[in-house]
Each structure stands twice: as C-alpha cells, then as structure tokens.
A = this chain, B = another copy of it.
Amino acid sequence: MSTFQPDKSKVREVLDTVKAAGRGSLTAPEGKRVCEAYGIAVPQEAVATSAPEASKLAQGMGFPVVMKIVSPDILHKTEAGGVIVGVKDAAEAASAYEQIVANAKKYKADAAILGVQVQQMVKGGQEVIVGAMTDASFGKLVAFGMGGVLVEVLKDVTFRLAPATREDAGSMLDSIQAAEMLKGVRGGKPVNREALEDTIVRVSQLVSDFPEIAELDLNPVFASDTGAIAADVRIVVDFQPKTPRYRPDEKSVVAAMNRIMKPRAVAVIGASNETGKIGNSVMKNLINGGYKGTIYPIHPKEAEIMGLKAFRSVKDVPADIDVAVFAIPAKMVALALKECGEKKIAGAILIPSGFGETGNIEGQEELQRIGREYDIRLMGPNIYGFYYTPSNLCATFCTAYDYKGTTALSSQSGGIGMAIIGYSRSAKMGVSAIVGLGNKSDIDEDDLLLFFEQDENTQVIAQHAEDLKDGRAFAEVARRVSKKKPVIMLKAGRTAMGAAAASSHTGAVAGTDRIYDDVLRQSGVIRAKSLRQMLDFARGVPILPTPKGENVVIITGAGGSGVLLSDACVDNGLKLLKPMPKDLDEAFRKFIPPFGAAGNPVDITGGEPPITYMNTVRLGLEDDRIHALILGYWHTIITPPMVFARNMVTVVNEMKQKGKVKPVVASLAGDVEVEEAAQYLYENGIPAYAYSTEIPVEILGAKYQWARSGGLLK
C-alpha cells in the first residue's frame, strides 16, 4: 500500500484551475480528485443525467447511496429538496432522480441542472479526523484525532511535522487519549491501522508536495476493519509564498560557530575602565575567566584598558578577530557592526537592549541586513552574552563561571540565564556553555544544536525557549542531533496566559502548545515541565549511563519510599521488572531479613547494616535481567548517610570494572546529613536527592525517554 505513486500532475491541474479562477478553496469534487491522485480513499461518486443512469451507477457502488442535485444555480441543496439520503435500491434511485429534478425546478425554474450526483454512503467503524495545516513556525503539519465530541470537547488531537513517516503515523494512532477506541470497543473490531496510517502519510505527503495547500480536512474519515474512507474533504489554498527565515547551510553555521566559541581573538566594543559599566564587566570576565586568546579593547579615546592596548575601531586592530562583544548603546551598534563586517569578524555578541523587545523593529532589521551583507552571525541583541568553558571564555557581563563539564545550556531570557548560572554553580553542575539568545535576530536554537552536535566538549544540550523562530529548522536538526546527544527543552509560554506574557515581553508569538509537545517528541527532544526540572535534567542526564533495557528495580531501606518511588516510576514511564524472576527473587531474599519484602521494590527494611545495601545493589548491577536501579535510602544510626554514599559509589565502581554499567539514581530520606551524601553521590555518577522521591526518578525517566527515542532500547 505504501509504495503507491501519487499522480502529481492531476493535483497540479486542479490547483491551476483554482488559482486561475482566483478561488481560495477547492470544491468537493476537486477535493476528491486531489485525494484520489494521492491514493486517499474517498466514497465513490458519479453524476447521472437520467433516472436509469442513476439506477445503474448506484448499483455499481452498492447501496445505500445519497443523491444530490448538481446545479451552479442552487447553493442550498437541502432547502431546494435537492438531497435524498439512504436510497436503498435501484428502483428508489430512479424515483429519487425524478424527485430531485422536479424539486429543483420547482425551487428555481430557470436553474441550469447538470444532473444528479450519486454518492456511496459510508458508515460504520470509528469516525476519525485526518487533517493538515500550515504553522507559522513549523510549516506543514499533519493532524489526527477522534471525530465527533471527542475532538470538539476534549480536543483529543495530535500533530506531526509533514511529511510524516509511517512510524510517525503509527505513533499518532497511539498518542491520542482515546487510542483504545481504535482497538475496538464494546466488541467492535479494531480499525485497519495500515489504512489509517496510509491516509495520514499520504495527506502529509500531499501538503508537503504542494505547499499552496494551506489547510486540508478529512472530516469524518470512517475507519473500519477493512479500510479508511474520507467522507468529506475540505481544502483551503494560499498561493502567496511566505519568505522563509534566513538559514545558512550547515557547514557555514558550524564554521562560524566554531570561530565564535573557540576564538583566537576577541574584541570588546565599548570596553571600559569604569567599574559598573557593562564594558568593564565584560573585560573583567574575559581576563579573570582565564581566556588565553588575545583581547582587544575598543574605545574611542582610551589608549589602554585594564592593562591592554585599546583601539578606536576593530578596523585599527592589526590582526584577525573572531568575535566582537558589543557593550555600547543601541544607537551606536549598527555602525560598529559594519566595521566588524569589514574586518571579517565571524560573530557579533549583541548585549545591548533597545531593539525588537522595545518596539525598535527597524533597528533590529537594520542589524540583520548588515549581518547578512557581511556574513557576520549575530547573537542577540538583548542578551547577557555567553560562556564557553573549554575556551575559558566568559563573554558576558555576569559573573565569571568556570565549573567545567559537558552540559551546554541556552536561554532566550536573561533572567532565566542568571538562574542557570546560579543553579549550575550551586549544584556544581559542570557546563560546557551557557548562551543567551535574547531577541534571536539571527543565531537561534538550531544554530547552537549544530555547533554542539560536533562539539567534543558537549554531551547534553538544554535550552530554554519562549518561541522557535524557525520551528521547522529546529525540529529537523534536533531529530538528528538528539540521536547522538540528549536535547532538553523548557518551552515557556505553554499556557494561553504564558504565551500572552511572552508576546508582550519579546514580541514572540507562542504556538499552540500541543503542537510544540508533539513535534518536540517527534524530534526526540526531552521536554522539561519546569525551570527546576530543566536544570535537574541538565545536571543528571549526562552523568547517567544509557540503559540497555527497560527493567527497572527499586532497592529501598524505607518501604514508604518504595511506594512513592513506584508511583514516580509510573508517572515517568518507567517499567518495573515484574514479576521478579523466581531465582532472582530468591537471590535477593538471601540478603534481607525474613520480614523484608522481595519482589520489586526490594524492601531491605530500615534497620539494616551497610552490607545489606551493598549486597543487594551488587546483585542488581550484576544480573543482566536488570537494566537500571533506583535506590531508596533511609537514614539510620547503623547505616549513616555518608557510609551509605561511599559504599554505593564503591559497589558501582567495582561493577563498572567488570563491565556492568547501569544507570543508578537515589532518593535519600533522613536528617540534614543526607544533603552531603546526595552531593557526594551526584559527584560520583549517581544522581541523588534529599527529601525527594520524585526528582531522581524523573531524571532516570528522561534518560530512558532519550534512549527510547534514539532506538537504543529493545
């Protein structure tokens, strides 16, 4: 079925007619022809010009049929008595023909009557909806949902980027709330998944091949065990092509981003000796941050700034410069940017505000024009700058940051950027980069993904975004990058109120959240629900090894934690190994008191010495049927927090030596000493939290989500 070859010329022909006629939508017969050209099943229909012909046509389709007047002069067919439904046999078809023509003549004597349309009546199975739309950020999307009240009242619809693969289509059938209905309810037969998937794939292909199709609705589609037939087709067209967002080729992006992130020389435009000035903070951070390349302060008058020779313009610098950090008022930016262009600088870090976010759209567009003309990439404007720790580069007015690691973060908002810096420092989260994107006049999330994809210093990418200027580009890049490195996103403006706030704040118009949710998942992106969760994921996901299978086991000293950890497993899509294989269950039982509970959670009970934790965890790491461990520690005098922590690290490392590498997370219940133990565990590869049973499991869940979407799990 899926090897069907569409007849593009037939669609072209229909669309040309519509365009020539200056229409904005297709007639029902036109819509049907378009569907037929793409192998999308529609009810059979034909126009009869006599009663005997109507009988014959109806017999060919099978009964019942519906019959409708065809006349350019009759708009309201039902009102004119021009529609008869439920025609049951050949005789009825003939008399219905006569009746409809008579009614039409009576309704409007001079109406031109072209005949009577005979149409197969499709019923039975489940009513579903398949559609396509054009989103300002994501472009063509295909939609699927249940028909009737389910879509109207419960908004039970799911989206994917078009064109959708057959796998995408299959996932759509499973990701609506009422998915179970497709499997047959009340003794009904399951729908033919293949036919529905075909319909989705072909609709998505059709709108991708013909971008002028702005909207398409098949509503309802009758999905039964034998097939899927679209009973009604509505197609809206738009022949005005949109200007796509500027998007350099990937090689150029990576080349420019490498010069920006690993520059041999940095200019600071507006460098200053005066404490409190942004240009002074930037200089201090570059110097104190330990940047080893050359720094060129640019200042109209000063000869030396912070002990470094200053220049009046970048053009006066007698060497190549890779990056210019701007710390000058908005109105002076354009001129300086041109000079950077002439100097062939790769990137301009536009800290100044006073552009798009304050309504100065023209000012921002001017920068974009200059950037394009001279081929300089622009970061910002309206940002705090950026950090790239492998280069010891703190190109920002915030405090210097030097805790190196493999997590790259970015934020659209400066405030969120500061929260990232604070959390990173407080939690000792190692980062490779923290980047402010602000107004995103040019460099945006997908540019960063392209750089971090090939950056040997980055293992995980976490981004805060209020909108995606080019969601399509992001999704395409993310789909590839996320297979190699986990990509985490905090999408702000999820709710209508949040979106309204986003739009007043940055001029960004947030898309419907369900679309973001679906497309991010389709692209393999892990979506964080909250700022704190994004930060926890950014910290925990990179240090966890990738699991090799779905079997999770909880080992806990506190039965109560076991219950909450089990709840958290369900909430985060983790599968507990259940029932525990008999031999494994017995093996665990050997280590725990007789009143402890094996099974899963393995409840070792509260009064146990360190060896019990060690024995059970060692067994959990050793046995190949177990793929991940969640530990629930209970603070007791017999096993104090740091004793537990050190022992766990010992066992995990010991098993690592033997090639048994599995993700382990821990929840610590106890007095304040558990905080130190949690930090120690975290720094030694075991994400651990005090006073929380949820967060460690959320982190493990995020790692699993990534492993699954990358096809790394069976």
Q: Which residues of A contact B (CB under 8 A)?
A: 149, 152-154, 177-178, 180-181, 185-186, 276, 281, 353-354, 357-359, 398-399, 411-416, 418-419, 421-423, 425-426, 464, 466, 492-498, 500-502, 504-506, 530-532, 535, 554, 556-571, 576, 578, 594-595, 597, 599, 601, 603, 606, 632, 634-635, 637, 668-675, 690-695
Q: A425-B671, A505-B603, A532-B691 are in contact. Are A563 and B493 (CB under 8 A)?
A: yes
**In the complex the two chains form, is B422's CB within 8 Å of A669's CB?**
yes
Q: Which among B276, B464, B506, B599 is the interface contact of A559 at CB below 8 angstroms? A: B506
Q: A563-B492, A669-B416 are in contact. Are A497 and B531 (CB under 8 A)?
A: no
Chain B residues whose CB sits within 8 angstroms of the CB of A359 once the complex forms: 595
**In the complex the two chains form, is A569's CB within 8 Å of B276's CB?**
no
**In the complex the two chains form, is B415's CB within 8 Å of A606's CB?**
yes
Q: Which among B185, B354, B501, B578 is the interface contact of A149 at CB below 8 angstroms? A: B185
Q: Which among B415, B493, B531, B557 is the interface contact of A557 at CB below 8 angstroms? A: B415
Known: A412-B560, A466-B560. 20 other contacts (CB 8 A): A149-B181, A154-B178, A358-B594, A415-B560, A415-B561, A418-B635, A418-B670, A419-B691, A423-B691, A492-B563, A493-B567, A494-B570, A495-B570, A498-B563, A498-B564, A504-B597, A504-B599, A505-B560, A505-B563, A530-B694
A357-B554 Cα distance, complex, nearest whole Å = 19
Q: Which among B181, B497, B561 is the interface contact of A570 at CB below 8 angstroms? A: B497
How many copies the complex holds: the figure is 2
A417-B465 Cα distance, complex, nearest whole Å = 39
Chain B residues whose CB sits within 8 angstroms of the CB of A398 once the complex forms: 671
**In the complex the two chains form, is B562's CB within 8 Å of A505's CB?**
yes
Name, among A180, A185, A505, A668, the residue most crowded by chain B CB atoms within 10 Å (CB to CB): A505
**In the complex the two chains form, is B422's CB within 8 Å of A691's CB?**
yes
A571-B496 Cα distance, complex, nearest whole Å = 11
Name, among A181, A359, A421, A497, the residue most crowded by chain B CB atoms within 10 Å (CB to CB): A497
5 A-B pairs within 8 Å (CB atoms) are namely A415-B558, A422-B669, A497-B567, A501-B562, A530-B568
Chain B residues whose CB sits within 8 angstroms of the CB of A505 once the complex forms: 559-560, 562-563, 597, 601, 603
A415-B607 Cα distance, complex, nearest whole Å = 11
**Which B residue's beta carbon lies closest to that of A698?**
B530
Q: A419-B691, A566-B501 are in contact. Are A672 and B560 (CB under 8 A)?
A: no
**Shortest distance from the beta carbon of A208 to any chain B beta carbon, whole Å:** 32
Chain B residues whose CB sits within 8 angstroms of the CB of A595 once the complex forms: 353-354, 357-359
**Shortest distance from the beta carbon of A138 to any chain B beta carbon, whole Å:** 20
**In the complex the two chains form, is A571's CB within 8 Å of B693's CB?**
no
Chain B residues whose CB sits within 8 angstroms of the CB of A186 once the complex forms: 149, 152
A505-B597 Cα distance, complex, nearest whole Å = 7
A416-B690 Cα distance, complex, nearest whole Å = 11
**In the complex the two chains form, is A692's CB within 8 Å of B358's CB?**
no
Chain B residues whose CB sits within 8 angstroms of the CB of A419 once the complex forms: 561, 668-670, 690-691
A15-B413 Cα distance, complex, nearest whole Å = 69
Q: Which among B535, B668, B672 is the interface contact of A425 at CB below 8 angstroms? A: B672
**Which B residue's beta carbon lies closest to that of A354?**
B595
A493-B570 Cα distance, complex, nearest whole Å = 11
Q: A415-B632, A567-B492 are in contact. Are A501 and B601 (CB under 8 A)?
A: yes
Chain B residues whose CB sits within 8 angstroms of the CB of A606 once the complex forms: 414-415
Q: Which among B181, B418, B501, B563 is the interface contact of A563 at CB below 8 angstroms? A: B501
Chain B residues whose CB sits within 8 angstroms of the CB of A276 once the complex forms: 637
**Which B residue's beta carbon lies closest to that of A414?**
B606
A496-B571 Cα distance, complex, nearest whole Å = 11
A280-B598 Cα distance, complex, nearest whole Å = 31
Chain B residues whose CB sits within 8 angstroms of the CB of A153 once the complex forms: 178, 180-181, 185
**In the complex the two chains form, is B569's CB within 8 Å of A497's CB?**
yes
**In the complex the two chains form, is B558's CB within 8 Å of A422's CB?**
no
Q: A422-B671, A571-B495 are in contact. Are A564 and B691 (CB under 8 A)?
A: no
**Which B residue's beta carbon lies closest to that of A492?**
B563
A501-B569 Cα distance, complex, nearest whole Å = 12
Q: Which among B418, B599, B637, B675 is the interface contact of A426 at CB below 8 angstroms? A: B675
**In the complex the two chains form, is B674's CB within 8 Å of A185's CB?**
no
**Which B residue's beta carbon lies closest to that of A634?**
B415
**In the complex the two chains form, is B672's CB within 8 Å of A413's CB?**
no
Chain B residues whose CB sits within 8 angstroms of the CB of A149 once the complex forms: 178, 181, 185-186
**Shortest distance from the beta carbon of A418 to any chain B beta carbon, whole Å:** 5
Q: Which among B353, B413, B561 is the interface contact of A416 at CB below 8 angstroms? A: B561
